[in-house]
Structure 1
Amino acid sequence: MDRKSFEKLVQEALDRIPSEFQSAMKNVAVVIQDRPGPEAEEGADEEEEGGLYGLYQGIPLPDRTADDSGATPDIIFLYQKPLEENFPNRKDLIREIEITVVHEIAHYFGFDEDALERYGYD
C-alpha cells in the first residue's frame, strides 16, 4: 500500500476517536514511518508479537507539571510495514491500525500496559 493510502486509514482511525478525547489531546503529532528504528525497538516490550506497530513518545498527561508547558510535542509513531506484513487482509489491517492508534493515545492519557490489556488493547 502506498503511504497516502495508509495515511488515509490512520486519519480515519483518528476520526473515530470520541470527540471529548480528541479535544483533550494537545500538542500531539502523529508520525508514520516504515519501520521502527533501533532506539524504538530497544524500549519496546520484548513480548511484542509480530513486531512493533506503534510507539508513544512524550510525557503522559497525568505526569505533567507546569515545567512541561511549552515542551516539544508528544509523538505517536505508527509503523506501516510491520502492520501491513502482519495484517495483509485490508479489514484486519484497518482494525489493527485502529487498535494501535487507541493504544498509543491511551498512553498519552496515562494508561499503562496492564490497564490497556484489561480493556483489550494489548
Structure 2
Amino acid sequence: MALSLPSLLPDTLHMTREPATFNVTAPSLADIEAMAEAAVAALPEPFRAAARQVVLLVEDFPPTEILEEMGIDDPFELTGLYEGIPLTEKSVADQPYAPDTVRLFRRPILEEWIERGDVALDALVAHVVVHELAHHFGWSDEDIARIDRWWE
C-alpha cells in the first residue's frame, strides 16, 4: 500500500476547520500528548497499528544537543523529530538500540499555531505527528514536500 500523507489525515483534521478559541492557559504537555494520541488513533489501518509501535514524547523544547547536531540555532524552528530506523530500512537481524520515537516540541508548536492563526491546534499537532510518522514509514523530507502543501 502506497503511503499518501494527505490520506493519513482524517478529513476533520485538514485546514478547513475553524481556528481554535483561546483559553486562559496555554495547552500543557499532557494536552499536546492527548492531541498527538488522537491523531494516531485517527490514522487508517495498517498505518495506525505501525504508528502505535512508535513512542510519542512531548517536550517543551528540543534538547540543545539535537539542535546542535541539526545545525539549528533557533529552538522555535523545530516542532517535531523522528528518531529511529524507518520501516523501509529495518531488518529482522537488527538489534534495536532504542524504540522508534516521535518527539513533539510544545513551545515551537504553540508559537507556530499562534503565528499562523488559520488552523486549529489539534490539526497542527496532527500534521506534525503525521509528518514525523511519514519518516517512520520511510519518507524523506523531500518526498513529503512533493505532496504536502501545508507549509506554503
TM-score, structure 2 as length reference: 0.68
User: Partners of 1:108 and 1:76 in 2: how far apart?
Assistant: 9
Match in the other structure for 2:88: 62
User: Partners of 2:54 and 2:70 in 1: how far apart?
Assistant: 20
The alignment status of 1:102 with 2:130, answered yes or no, reads yes
Cα pair distance change 1:66/1:115, threshold 3 Å: same
SS at match of 2:46: helix
Which has the greater radius of gyration?
Answer: 2
Identity over aligned residues, as a percent?
28
Query: Map of 1:106-121 to 2, 5 A cutoff?
Result: 106-120=134-148
TM-score, structure 1 as length reference: 0.82
| Structure 2: 5+ residue stretches without partners | 1-26
Aligned length: 120
SS at match of 1:99: helix
SS at match of 1:72: coil
User: Partners of 1:115 and 1:43 in 2: how far apart?
Assistant: 22
SS at match of 1:19: coil
Cα pair distance change 1:114/1:54, threshold 3 Å: same
